[in-house]
Amino acid sequence: MNENVYLDHNATAPLRPEARLAIDQAMGIVGNGSSVHAGGRAARRIIEDARRVVAALCAAQPDTVTFTSGGTEANNLALGATAMSRVLISAVEHPSVYDVADRPEIIPVDRDGIVDLDALENMLASDNTPALVSVMAANNETGVIQPIERVAEVTRRYGGIVHCDGVQAVGKIPLDVNSLGVHMLTISGHKIGGPAGSGALINVDGLALSPLIRGGGQEKKLRPGTENLIGIAGFGAAAQVINDRGQAEIEKIRQWRDDLESAAKNRILGLEIVGQSAPRLPNTSALISPAIDSETQVMALDIDGVSISSGSACSSGKVGASPVMVAMGFNDSQARSVIRVSLGWSSRPDDTKRFLDVWCGLHDRLARQAS
Ligand code: PLP
């Protein structure tokens, strides 16, 4: 019996053993991080240690890190916190940005999904109301990396504020808030092997931000409520692994991903690799094989113990045409047949071979049926 193969790290990564251990230890602590007794102080130590490690993940100062319940909350916080009346977002943002922004102006993207910087500049120049500009560091469906430094440079030139959703990029490519030039960065714990329900907003320049919820002094009043000690402990432990050996891990993954794409191109006629000519995350492949819809592919692979996503997997589990692909100019049938393969820390050398064997087997079967 074959072991299951998990190639859906962009949806969530399995919990790292180091995070599991940190969570287990944190669960043994009886104390509220705001209490002065020994248990409270032990909880506070865990929170502040994690804050330092999470800050180091993106070369930020620890006191700029606000822990949240995840990337979604951090994005909501960032978009609501500045009271900017004008919001510009790219056409390929995650729902936790595009569903939240109030009547956002959409920055178009090219066929690779990269924001059109001239369009951004024209939009900023067309109105002298300062804008909040939110562009993700890398796309969850395609892995395409945005030119954030340039987005930040243009936006700052027009007096705007830049927020970047770094949820998919963190741990996969170097993210340094100083060289990116952003005001705010969102990150999430469960994409790097920490627990779901943990994340952070990094307020690089110390902007005065308003909280989403009120009723306590925690996280400098920006995120009131007793801290999620267990989640923060696990997030910190996962971040520590990346600080220690993330680079070596990701280079191995890049090689497996590249080998997968070369082999797939040889075996599947007419295969298109989305964003192949653009800078991309080293772990992600968005693959369009014409004529088979993504749902059929995801289900057939699942039956054989291989977990992947359709490009458009959403929280309800329904599959439709991917809005990201549509924004990139793909037609409806292409947008409905894209699948996403995403590797990560738990990937093994033979995982991609197993995926290919099952996936190509499906293509062969369907081709025989059609002939
Ligand atoms: N932003 C991006 C780009 C994502 O891919 C995700 C999750 O898939 C989120 C934000 C939301 O993060 P979380 O699941 O931690 O709320």
Q: What is the mean pLDDT of residues 21-30?
A: 98
Is the minimum distance from the CB of 139 to ligand 1 under 6 angstroms?
no
Does the pLDDT at position 25 exceed 50?
yes
Q: Are residues 186 and 301 in the same domain?
A: no
Q: Are residues 131 and 89 in the same domain?
A: yes
**What is the whole-number distance in angstroms between the Cα of residue 36 and the centre of ligand 1?**
35
Q: Are residues 154 and 297 in the same domain?
A: no
pTM: 0.96
Q: Are residues 250 and 237 in the same domain?
A: no
How many CB atoms sit inside 10 A of residue 144's CB? 26
Lookup: tokens for 326: 């549509």
**Residues 58, 164, 314, 360: which is the catalytic one?**
314
Any alpha helices (H) in the chain, and if so which ranges? Answer: 17-27, 38-57, 71-80, 95-98, 117-125, 148-157, 177-180, 229-267, 294-303, 323-327, 332-335, 351-370
Give the pLDDT band (50/70/90) at residue 312. low
Q: Are residues 255 and 177 in the same domain?
A: no
Distance CA 131, CA 123 (A): 10
Give the pLDDT band (50/70/90) at residue 279. very high
Q: Are residues 130 and 201 in the same domain?
A: yes
By most ligand atoms within 8 Å of CB, the mutation choice from 73, 148, 168, 232 for ligand 1 is: 168
How much of the chain exceeds pLDDT 90, in percent? 88
What is the tens place of the pLDDT at every residue in 282-303? Answer: 999 999 987 789 999 999 999 9
Which is nearest to 347 in space by CA: 239, 237, 253?
253
- Tell me the Ramachandran region of residue 122: left when phi exceeds 0, alpha when psi lies from -120 to 50, beta otherwise: alpha
pLDDT of residue 75: 97
By most ligand atoms within 8 Å of CB, the mutation choice from 67, 69, 72 for ligand 1 is: 72
**What is the whole-number distance in angstroms between the Cα of residue 311 and the centre of ligand 1?**
14
Q: Are residues 287 and 273 in the same domain?
A: yes
Give the total number of structural domains in the chain: 2
Q: Is the separation of the CB atoms in 212 and 76 below 8 Å? A: yes
Convert 328-353 to b/e letters by CB count within 10 Å (16 or more is b): bebeeebbbbbbbbbbbbebeeebbe
- Cα atoms found within 13 Å of the Cα of residue 189, Cβ hemisphere only: 33
Q: Are residues 266 and 215 in the same domain?
A: no
Residue 332: CATH number of its domain? 3.90.1150.10
Please say which residue of 181, 208, 241 terminates a domain.
241
Please say which residue of 207, 241, 275 terminates a domain.
241
- Spatial neighbors of 276 by CB under 8 A, at least 6 apart, are 261
Q: What is the mean pLDDT of residues 231-239?
A: 98
State the residue for tokens 């996403």.
340
Give the pLDDT band (50/70/90) at residue 316. very low
Q: Are residues 212 and 294 in the same domain?
A: no
DSSP notation for 304-348: TTEE-EETT--TT------HHHHHTT--HHHHTSEEEEE--TT--
Alpha carbon distance, N-terminus to C-terminus of the chain: 32
Residue nearest to atom 10 of ligand 1 (CA): 71
Please say which residue of 241, 268, 299 terminates a domain.
241
Q: Are residues 179 and 231 in the same domain?
A: yes
314 is catalytic: yes
Residue nearest to atom 13 of ligand 1 (CA): 71
Q: Are residues 89 and 237 in the same domain?
A: yes
pLDDT of residue 368: 84
**What is the whole-number distance in angstroms between the Cα of residue 42 and the centre of ligand 1?**
30
Does the pLDDT at position 318 exceed 60?
no
Q: Are residues 94 and 224 in the same domain?
A: yes
By most ligand atoms within 8 Å of CB, the mutation choice from 54, 136, 140 for ligand 1 is: 140
Is the minimum distance from the CB of 195 to ligand 1 under 6 angstroms?
no
Residue 49: CATH number of its domain? 3.40.640.10
Range of the domain at 341: 5-13+246-370
Which is nearest to 274 in space by CA: 343, 220, 219, 328?
328
What is the tens place of the pLDDT at every residue in 27-85? Answer: 999 999 999 999 999 999 999 999 999 999 999 999 999 999 999 999 999 999 788 88
How many CB atoms sit inside 10 A of residue 326's CB? 17
How much of the chain exceeds pLDDT 70, in percent? 97
